[in-house]
Chain A
Amino acid sequence: GAGVSQTPSNKVTEKGKYVELRCDPISGHTALYWYRQSLGQGPEFLIYFQGTGAADDSGLPNDRFFAVRPEGSVSTLKIQRTERGDSAVYLCASSLEVRSSGANVLTFGAGSRLTVL
C-alpha cells in the first residue's frame, strides 16, 4: 500500500480481555517496528522485525505482549489479559531495510488507540 496501515484505529476493551492490533507496512519494507506512546510522552520501543523474525524484542514490557510477522509483511501485536496500564496509542512503523549505519528512516502509521476500562 501507499502508507503504513493500522487497524483498528480505536479499540475499547475491558480489563482482562485479549486484544490484537494489526499493522500492514509499506510493500517491500523489510523492517517493521512497534512502539507504544502514552499521552504527552515520546514513542516507547517495543519490538522490531527484520523479515519474519523478531530482531529485537527487548521493549516488550512482559509476557502478556507478543507480536508476530509470519510472512514478513503484516504484523499483529497481541496483548493478553489486558490491564488499565496498557492503555496507550500503539504505533507501527516500517523501513525499507535495516542499514548497518543505523540510519533507518521510519514511516509510521496513524496508530491504534487502545483503551482498557
Chain B
Amino acid sequence: SQQGEEDPQALSIQEGENATMNCSYKTSINNLQWYRQNSGRGLVHLILIRSNEREKHSGRLRVTLDTSKKSSSLLITASRAADTASYFCATPSGSSNTGKLIFGQGTTLQVKP
C-alpha cells in the first residue's frame, strides 16, 4: 500500500510560474524525501526534510513539512521547461530502523515554454 499520496495528480503551467505539489502521509515519520523522474528514466533524489524541520530550501526548490497535518509540499519557483517530470514523495515505512522507502503516486508536472 502507498504511504504518501500526492496532489494534484497532474499540473500544467507556463514557464516562469511557480509549481506547488502536495504530499499527505498516514503514519508518523522521521523524515520525508522528494524525488523526480523524467520520462523513461529512473528517479533522482531532490531533497530530504527531517521531522524536526519545517522548511528546507535547495536552489529553486522549497519543501515544507507539517507533521501535525501529516503533509508536505514541494514548491518549484520560476519553473523551466526542463522541470517537466513526475515528482514523488517518499517516506520510511514502519519502524525507524527500516530501509524500506514507500513512494506516493506522484504528480506529473508539465512546464510549457
Contacts and interface: CB of A to CB of B under 8 A. Distances in A.
A73 to B, nearest CB: 17
Contact of B30 (A55, A95, A101): A101
Give the size range of A's interface with the partner. 20 to 34
Contact of A42 (B2, B41, B50, B97): B2
Interface residues of B, number: 28
Contact of A101 (B43, B44, B96, B106): B96
Contact of A55 (B29, B50, B99, B105): B99
Contacts of A31: 99
A33 B45 contact: no
A2 B65 CA distance: 32
B43 A106 contact: yes
Interface string B31-58: 1010100001111110010100000000
B92 A43 contact: no
Contact of B88 (A42, A50, A93, A107): A42
Given A31-B99, A48-B100, A41 B48 contact: no
A43 B99 contact: no
A56 B43 contact: no
Contact of B96 (A58, A102, A107): A102
A100 interface: yes
Given A105-B45, A110-B42, A42 B30 contact: no
Interface of B: 2, 29-31, 33, 35, 40-45, 48, 50, 88, 92-93, 96-106
